[in-house]
Structure formats: C-alpha cells, structure tokens
Amino acid sequence: MNKTVICPGSFDPVTLGHLDIITRAAKMFDRVIVAVLVNSAKTPTFSTEERIELLREAVGGLENVEIVSFKGLLAEYCKKCGVGTIVKGLRAVSDFEYEFQMALANKKLNPELETVFLAADADSTFLSSSMVREIASMGGDISNFVPACVHDRIVERLRK
C-alpha cells in the first residue's frame, strides 16, 4: 500500500525540530506532504512564500517530501487530498493536551483521519519557531536551532 501522510504546521520559520519530524516521517512513509498553514487571522513573520521556500531548501535531499500550503480546516484539506494520516511531533508532556484535543477534533470532523505522534528528538524538546525568532532578532546564535542551508536567510530577515 502506498502510504501518504501530512505534516502540518505554521513553520514560521522551519526549525531543526520540524526537520527531524519530517525526515523521520519520510523514512517511515512513502510520501510526506508538508502543509504550511495560511492563517488569515494571524500575521506571520515570514510570508507563506518565504516559509515554503525555506522548507523546500531544508528538505531538499528528501525525494518523497513535497511542500504545499493550505487554508481552512486541516481535516477538510486531508479529505480533499485523500490523505488519511497526520504526523505531528510531541516535544514534551505540555504539548500532549493540545495535540490530543486537535487529534480528537480532527477525527470528529473527518472520521477517516488518524493522527500519529513522533516523540521529538531530545535536542528539540525546548525548541519553537518563536524562540528562534526572538533569539535571532536580538543577535543571538541560532545555528543549533535551524537547518544550516537556510540559517543565513533566516538571520538576515530577523536581524533588527
């Protein structure tokens, strides 16, 4: 069976934590769709195009990964694409309640939809996109937090 999964998120910007989850999903499944949320209620730091571009570069060597953007409900988007599995990373117990709530809501909206959680890599458990944005904007070193190939572009955009 050809198994396609979706890795959704804001990716504002992509971090090594995201890349860890995407890379491991790409080893476990035949095809991984990384779906960047276009949320009209929020103003992201990086535009949708920038987030897609950074992700494309970060996952460059992974042939079974593609990057798309989506609007609206994830459950509806999965239905439209014919994808039945969401893959998400769990960084800490604190992620669990929120992720569990989303997984249950998504299943109510689309009963065919399963959510699979991968335990985040130990080095990523504290990491988040907003932390990367804050550190870089204050001139801190983010080289341990973001993929090397997109590091300079992220720093350039965030430097105040």
- Residues with a catalytic annotation lie at 18, 42, 91, 129
* Assigned token pair, 59: 């996952």
Strand intervals (E) in the chain = 4-9, 31-37, 65-70, 85-90, 114-119
Judged by CB under 6 A, does residue 58 bind ligand COA? no
Residue 21 CB, nearest approach to ligand COA (Å): 5
Residue 134 CB, nearest approach to ligand COA (Å): 9
What is d(CA 133, CA 135) in angstroms, rounded to the nearest whole number?
6
Judged by CB under 6 A, does residue 105 bind ligand COA? yes
Strand order in the sheet with 31-37: 65-70, 31-37, 4-9, 85-90, 114-119
Q: Which is nearer to ligand COA, 21 or 83 (CB)?
A: 21
Where do contacts with ligand COA occur on this chain (CB under 6 A)?
8-10, 12, 15, 17-18, 21, 37, 73-75, 89, 91, 102, 105-106, 120, 124, 127-130
